[in-house]
Structure 1
Amino acid sequence: MKSSEKVLLDKFNEVIESNFHNSDFGIDEICLELGTSRSQLYRYIKEQTQLSTSLYIRQRKLLKAQELLESSDMKTAEIAYLLSIDSPQNFSKYFAQEFGLTPTAYRKKTIEEKGLSDSKPVVMEEIFSAAKTGTGNHTFIVAPVNVKPNDTFAGRKYLYLVIGLILFMAWAAYFWKPLGEKGNRLAGVPAFSGNSIAIMPFKNLGKPETVYFSDGIMDQIHGSLSLLNKLKVISTTSSGKYRNSPKLIPQIARELDVNYILEGSVLQANQKLRINVELVRANDDRTVWTKSYDGGTKDVFSFLSNVAKEVALELDQKLSNTAEEKLRKVPTNNPEAYRAYLQGCQLIVIRKKEYLEESIVKLNRAIKLDPEFAAAYASLGHAYHLMAENGFMEETESFKMTEQNSLTAIRLDAENGLAYANLANIYRLQNKWEQAKTAYEIALKYSPNDAQINYWFSLLLRSTGNMEEAIRYSSKAVALDPLHHVIFGGNITNHVYGGELDRAEELVNDGKVLFKDSWVYYWVKGIYFAAMKDYKQALASYAKANQLNPGIKSIQYQTVFCQAMNGQINEANAYLSQLPNLPANYVSRAVIYAGLKDKKQSLYYLQKAADADILPTDIKVSLFLASLRNEQQYKTILAKFGL
């Protein structure tokens, strides 16, 4: 074979292998990538391999499948999915045609030949090493596999990152049970080890403008302790509400349902730091451990790693070598980059347009100072996602920037939970349910105590109709972040849509004092009363939500739905008459007509929304469209969106 021909074939193989996972990447996309036409490519591949283009691509996938059957414990259905083969049945058929054995028989034969009782699992260290060579321009989480054309097993140590991570997750069991601790009635919350901790906002003893650094120290310790799966670590969103609080530690601990509190203070002056940390046992308000640091900014991470390790041991958390290694991980060795990163992360919390834009500036500065700063890339991806979520940026551009930065973060740090969660959020909004589920599960493997990721995952599970699991994850999110009004409200909605109305009522009552100023609380209270068919109370709750935050479209159409169900037909029709007949209002019309018990018109607008690629939120479980569930047209619409 001529040198130029080998280069082209190698390039063709590389393009195929880099897109095994991508079912939307076909021959046209390959031709575009190679700069050739379909007919030219067909002639070339036929001449070199005696196979058509499509059969050659299939052969490459089957070679990769053969490799995975030897080197992993993946099920044949999982391999078929990851290689974008349309069904496990076809995968088995093609594999048998190529190798003379079914995938199951091939794996059994391999095991017998090696004299092993089980398949050899993928070595995770090799996979993480492979991640360092990955590229960030694909639709899914991959590190390209460079397998030589006639060397079936040469690329084993460069396996797809995502495959290894999925395997790693599969081996980790999530056996969650309700806690029996006093005051905790959250069904489905996972059992922690018995110890729990809240990290209070560290006191800033320096100038007011250095408060970001105090918060950053708090977040760094929180992030390290959150890596421990069996330790309940309260989100800084909830513990942050006690900044400058006059409440005593035992009272704060009772309200957050923890038995330890970590306090601290930070004095930053020029390049010098003084940090004091104190661990307090809540039941007797007794300090059980203290630690201090005096030194330069550049040495702070080693101190914080020791703090996290010693606190974990104090709380009876047995640390494996892997856990200790994670606690020792340093986000960056550049103090200036870390300072810019902390400032960027603090700006993200505010979520206003000008703050998000400034956060992007700060995070880009951190990356410029340290191009290997994985956490900065992940936070930058998060900032771009929030820009679109809040309507400050066009969605396509936001998704592109979120994906690009998140994949770079994963390439630099294969265990960055936020980066995977960013990707999962994109996939969820694109209705790519399986991809989103996989990415969320990986995110939670590496950030098990991240309340926000647990909550985001519950939203995906709700959308796909898995309400039992949705309740489990949103309940865990509430346990980790009990004062977050959005998470608390989302958990109520999950219980309502999951048919657990008695528990939903308990949660509504629990939130009366905590969230009396939250529009989200009154919104979900309205959803609860609508489920109970108490439309008078539902309307009162929606009115309060609209008063606190006017203009939320879903509150408006749910209000009119309840008016219609309450017999206020004229009011509902009057609202419809002034509602512009535009795609943005199709879902509103579908819900209101459902309230008017006009299934024909409701289905008509639901279909128009679907034709415009608009998916009503939680269409599969929403009580506002429940009257349509037995209609064939409704089922067809669900199928269109993979539901």
Structure 2
Amino acid sequence: MSNPTAHKSTFIEEAEALILNNLTNEQFGVSELADTMHMSRSNLLRKIKKETQLSASQFIRQVRLKEAMELLKEESLTVSEISYQVGFGSTSYFIKCFREQYGHSPGEVGKGTVLEKTEKVQTNFLKQYGWPLMVAISLAIIIVTVILFNKKDIINKPKIEKSIAVLPFKNESSDSTNLYFVNGLMESALNNLQKIEDLRVISRTSVEKYRKTDKGIPEIAEELHVNYLVEGSGQRVGNQVLLNVQLIEASTDTPIWMEQYNREIEDIFGLQNDVAKKIADAIAAVVTPSELEQIEKKPTKNLLAYDYYLQALDPYYLRTTEGLEKAIPLFEKAIEQDPEFALAYANIAISYYLLEMSQIEKQYTEKINNYADKALLYDSKSAESLVAKAFYYIQTKEYKLALPHLDKALEYNPNSSLAVQMLAEFYSHMIPNTNKYLEYALKGVQLNIASDSATQSYTYLQLSNALLLSGFMDEALKYVDMSLDYSAENYYAPLLKAFVLFAKDGDIERTRNLVVKEWNKDTTRLDLLQNIGKLFYLEENYKKAHFYYSKFVKAREANGLGIYRQENAKIAQVYKKMGLDSEAEKLFRDFSEYCKEDKSSYQSINLVWKYAYEGKINEAIEQLRIFSEIENYIYWFLLIENEPLIKPLNEHPEFEPIIQKIIDRFWKNQANLKKSLEQKGLI
């Protein structure tokens, strides 16, 4: 790649000269440079990007660091003195930036060690080995470089230029009850920015931990992987809203836009919209006409209704049973004041869904439907309204009807962490699609960063599982370990780690021992019982498989659960091997019913097990052939040939070629998936 600064234009030379003239002024940033060059900030950003391939802030920092290098070579000043002389207010931040730019600390330059070491090594090497070997080494370096740069970590987290986090606003009022109002102002700013596709906006749960923090802007930005932060403080005094907001460029810890607002309460929505539009303009984010329409939309005309709505948000976002039960009556009071308040209807529907999403018996289904329909009636272009209706369809297992609502919700709010999370869940098991599952799991990690330990742990758990199902074993192990690092109490992480290790090396005994260890901690866990039984089944140890499977089946029936029905053919095979024919037949009948009900892309592979159990080899081979034609599937299906139930198919002449086709198609799809994710900036 050519050096973008090899042939400097007059524009770049002028910009560098102005930066050098203001070198000691740490406040001299993008806005100041634009002003001194008599051009708009957006034009400056575009022109610098075009000519240097750098953002404006990166360009300014590079000029400062180049001057620092020259000063360090003179050896007359300390690192601390130079850091302030080139406009860095923090010496530690200067050292960090310098190391990133040059690959070594400024202290090494000051001591002359970098230059002296390089010259000495080059001189001795040339004298001893001569140029022929240098040529060979150069070729080796080229080869190694190619290998290293092509072996990218699947989850390399690149900095996205237009990435932003809205930090919790500070309550400037002595009245603590005013906090919900200030939080509401922060929520509205966040919500409006989330509607802009050109921005990556970190979720509310990710920033909440910084409400009471002593961390500085650069450290927070580094943890959140963002380039911009929004800080604010405000209060309500009578009918007046007082709000101070500033947008900070993280790399320089410099405000690039700030404003003080003093508005009548009646103009609160105009104030919120103005904040979002000015922030977007300050970082040159592209806002489409449809996005602008969404931002300018007033949620309600009734200020009392809006006040009740704001009061409900804090408990609503806790996502606890107590919080949701406290939020619902407040949303209902908002609706009493404004019967057309779409957001309030949507949040009630979502609350009811979350209250019982893990319950067997559902009692709120009709309420979810009614509130979701009201939300859509009064605002059909609201992401919250669409998510609410999707939840109703998920509740009633009409998954294909839920999907377009979730897709549309993400279209209206491209940064909705709730929609992204649900789409990941959706493609995980409701309508399986490993490519989509991994894509949304990656998006979830980008939006939910540095959340509380439990949330972050489960975010990484989901990503690890998505990576495993797509065949990225090393990366899956990395993220399940991170999940455990965040929360050793994570319920599912040890189980997932056991199977990630199994996928890597096939050590079934170690895998089984790890799962049994977890089961001994909690013998009520049916997921562990089922998996232990399956591992013994794979080894054809039917006696031990039956020991665990029988406990699982009895507990499942006693609790009226319909879980793991897709495993019933294997369980039936174990029962049959143990001579329990009537119990085996009952399990197999249920599996046959499951196959009839299954409308997913995995129906054909389930029919392979069905026909194999019945001894219908040709029919099983035909379904296996049909399965080999689908676009994507989970990694575990590559191991199907080793299953006891499938062994009779091995003798069929078409079996081996079909299995090879399944294997080849999986790895080809994985390669295409990696390219696609790279193009979307997700890896």
TM-score by length of 2: 0.58
Alignment partner for residue 608 of structure 1, among 567, 571, 590? 590
Does the aligned pair in 2 maintain the 1:344–1:360 contact within 8 Å?
yes
Aligned partner of 1:487 in structure 2 is: 459
Does the aligned pair in 2 maintain the 1:525–1:541 contact within 8 Å?
no
Quick one: which amino acid aligns to residue 574 of structure 2? D
CA distance in structure 1 between the aligned counterparts of 2:184 and 2:525, rounded to whole angstroms: 34
Tell me by how many angstroms 1:193 deviates: 7.0
Alignment partner for residue 341 of structure 2, among 370, 373, 393? 373
Aligned partner of 2:211 in structure 1 is: 243
TM-score by length of 1: 0.61
CA distance in structure 1 between the aligned counterparts of 2:416 and 2:311, rounded to whole angstroms: 21
Aligned partner of 1:304 in structure 2 is: 272
Tell me by how many angstroms 1:306 deviates: 0.5
Tell me by how many angstroms 1:356 deviates: 2.2
Does the aligned pair in 2 maintain the 1:561–1:596 contact within 8 Å?
no
Alignment partner for residue 233 of structure 1, among 188, 201, 214? 201
- Structure 2 residue matching 1:519: 3-state secondary structure: coil
CA distance in structure 1 between the aligned counterparts of 2:199 and 2:588, rounded to whole angstroms: 45
Alignment of 1:451 onto 2:427: no
Question: In structure 2, do the counterparts of structure 1 residues 573 and 497 end up closer, same or farther at CA, with 3 Å as the change threshold?
Answer: same
Alignment partner for residue 256 of structure 2, among 288, 302, 314? 288
Aligned partner of 1:362 in structure 2 is: 330
Alignment partner for residue 401 of structure 1, among 367, 390, 404? 367
Question: In structure 2, do the counterparts of structure 1 residues 248 and 539 end up closer, same or farther at CA, with 3 Å as the change threshold?
Answer: farther
Alignment partner for residue 342 of structure 1, among 305, 310, 315? 310
CA distance in structure 2 between the aligned counterparts of 1:561 and 1:322, rounded to whole angstroms: 52
Deviation string, structure 1 residues 384-426 (Cα, Å, up to 9, x no partner): 11122143x952x422211211121112112111221222233
Does the aligned pair in 1 maintain the 2:529–2:549 contact within 8 Å?
no
Does the aligned pair in 2 maintain the 1:529–1:535 contact within 8 Å?
no
- Structure 1 residue matching 2:230: 3-state secondary structure: strand
- Structure 2 residue matching 1:348: 3-state secondary structure: helix
Does the aligned pair in 2 maintain the 1:331–1:374 contact within 8 Å?
yes
Question: In structure 2, do the counterparts of structure 1 residues 287 and 538 end up closer, same or farther at CA, with 3 Å as the change threshold?
Answer: farther
Aligned partner of 2:76 in structure 1 is: none
CA distance in structure 2 between the aligned counterparts of 1:485 and 1:617, rounded to whole angstroms: 32
Question: In structure 2, do the counterparts of structure 1 residues 606 and 406 end up closer, same or farther at CA, with 3 Å as the change threshold?
Answer: farther
Aligned partner of 1:195 in structure 2 is: 162
Q: How many residues align?
A: 453
Tell me by how many angstroms 1:321 deviates: 3.2
Quick one: which amino acid aligns to residue 506 of structure 1? K
Aligned partner of 1:389 in structure 2 is: 357
Quick one: which amino acid aligns to residue 434 of structure 1? K
CA distance in structure 2 between the aligned counterparts of 1:381 and 1:439, rounded to whole angstroms: 14
Does the aligned pair in 2 maintain the 1:564–1:592 contact within 8 Å?
no
Deviation string, structure 1 residues 199-221 (Cα, Å, up to 9, x no partner): 11122333333333232222211
CA distance in structure 1 between the aligned counterparts of 2:401 and 2:339, rounded to whole angstroms: 28
CA distance in structure 2 between the aligned counterparts of 1:302 and 1:373, rounded to whole angstroms: 18
Tell me by how many angstroms 1:324 deviates: 2.4
- Structure 1 residue matching 2:372: 3-state secondary structure: helix
Tell me by how many angstroms 1:479 deviates: 0.9
CA distance in structure 1 between the aligned counterparts of 2:267 and 2:358, rounded to whole angstroms: 38
Does the aligned pair in 2 maintain the 1:195–1:232 contact within 8 Å?
yes
Aligned-residue identity in percent: 23
CA distance in structure 2 between the aligned counterparts of 1:502 and 1:265, rounded to whole angstroms: 44
Alignment partner for residue 508 of structure 1, among 480, 494, 499? 480
Bigger mean CA offset, 291-300 vs 474-483 = 291-300
Does the aligned pair in 1 maintain the 2:460–2:482 contact within 8 Å?
no
Aligned partner of 2:223 in structure 1 is: 255
Aligned partner of 1:30 in structure 2 is: none
Tell me by how many angstroms 1:373 deviates: 1.1
Alignment partner for residue 289 of structure 2, among 321, 345, 355? 321
Aligned partner of 1:204 in structure 2 is: 171
CA distance in structure 1 between the aligned counterparts of 2:161 and 2:443, rounded to whole angstroms: 15
Question: In structure 2, do the counterparts of structure 1 residues 619 and 345 end up closer, same or farther at CA, with 3 Å as the change threshold?
Answer: farther
CA distance in structure 2 between the aligned counterparts of 1:529 and 1:328, rounded to whole angstroms: 51
Aligned partner of 2:385 in structure 1 is: 419
Quick one: which amino acid aligns to residue 221 of structure 2? A
Alignment of 1:150-189 (within 5 A): 185-186=154-155
Tell me by how many angstroms 1:614 deviates: 12
Deviation string, structure 1 residues 540-588 (Cα, Å, up to 9, x no partner): 7768977999955435533554576689877654444443461735645
CA distance in structure 1 between the aligned counterparts of 2:536 and 2:215, rounded to whole angstroms: 44
Tell me by how many angstroms 1:520 deviates: 4.6
Aligned partner of 1:598 in structure 2 is: 574
Does the aligned pair in 1 maintain the 2:568–2:591 contact within 8 Å?
no
CA distance in structure 1 between the aligned counterparts of 2:276 and 2:352, rounded to whole angstroms: 30
Alignment of 1:490-569 (within 5 A): 490-532=462-504, 533-534=506-507, 538=511, 553-558=526-531, 561-562=534-535
CA distance in structure 1 between the aligned counterparts of 2:392 and 2:153, rounded to whole angstroms: 33
Question: In structure 2, do the counterparts of structure 1 residues 237 and 520 end up closer, same or farther at CA, with 3 Å as the change threshold?
Answer: farther
Quick one: which amino acid aligns to residue 201 of structure 1? P
Aligned partner of 2:668 in structure 1 is: none
CA distance in structure 2 between the aligned counterparts of 1:632 and 1:364, rounded to whole angstroms: 54
- Structure 2 residue matching 1:287: 3-state secondary structure: strand
RMSD: 4.2
Quick one: which amino acid aligns to residue 251 of structure 1? E
Q: Unpaired runs of 5+ in structure 1?
A: 1-179
Question: In structure 2, do the counterparts of structure 1 residues 445 and 399 end up closer, same or farther at CA, with 3 Å as the change threshold?
Answer: same
CA distance in structure 1 between the aligned counterparts of 2:238 and 2:216, rounded to whole angstroms: 33
Aligned partner of 1:223 in structure 2 is: 191
Question: In structure 2, do the counterparts of structure 1 residues 608 and 244 end up closer, same or farther at CA, with 3 Å as the change threshold?
Answer: same
CA distance in structure 1 between the aligned counterparts of 2:433 and 2:260, rounded to whole angstroms: 48
Tell me by how many angstroms 1:330 deviates: 1.6
CA distance in structure 2 between the aligned counterparts of 1:613 and 1:596, rounded to whole angstroms: 15
Aligned partner of 1:478 in structure 2 is: 445
Does the aligned pair in 2 maintain the 1:210–1:268 contact within 8 Å?
yes
Does the aligned pair in 1 maintain the 2:159–2:226 contact within 8 Å?
no
Quick one: which amino acid aligns to residue 598 of structure 1? V
Question: In structure 2, do the counterparts of structure 1 residues 442 and 570 end up closer, same or farther at CA, with 3 Å as the change threshold?
Answer: same
Does the aligned pair in 2 maintain the 1:276–1:290 contact within 8 Å?
yes
Question: In structure 2, do the counterparts of structure 1 residues 465 and 249 end up closer, same or farther at CA, with 3 Å as the change threshold?
Answer: same
- Structure 2 residue matching 1:316: 3-state secondary structure: coil
- Structure 1 residue matching 2:245: 3-state secondary structure: strand
Aligned partner of 2:68 in structure 1 is: none
Quick one: which amino acid aligns to residue 531 of structure 2? Q
More helix by share: 2
Question: In structure 2, do the counterparts of structure 1 residues 552 and 577 end up closer, same or farther at CA, with 3 Å as the change threshold?
Answer: closer
Does the aligned pair in 1 maintain the 2:569–2:588 contact within 8 Å?
no
Tell me by how many angstroms 1:514 deviates: 3.4
Tell me by how many angstroms 1:243 deviates: 2.4
Aligned partner of 1:469 in structure 2 is: 436
Deviation string, structure 1 residues 206-242 (Cα, Å, up to 9, x no partner): 3333333232222211111111112111111112222
Question: In structure 2, do the counterparts of structure 1 residues 632 and 465 end up closer, same or farther at CA, with 3 Å as the change threshold?
Answer: farther
Quick one: which amino acid aligns to residue 310 of structure 2? L
Tell me by how many angstroms 1:368 deviates: 0.6
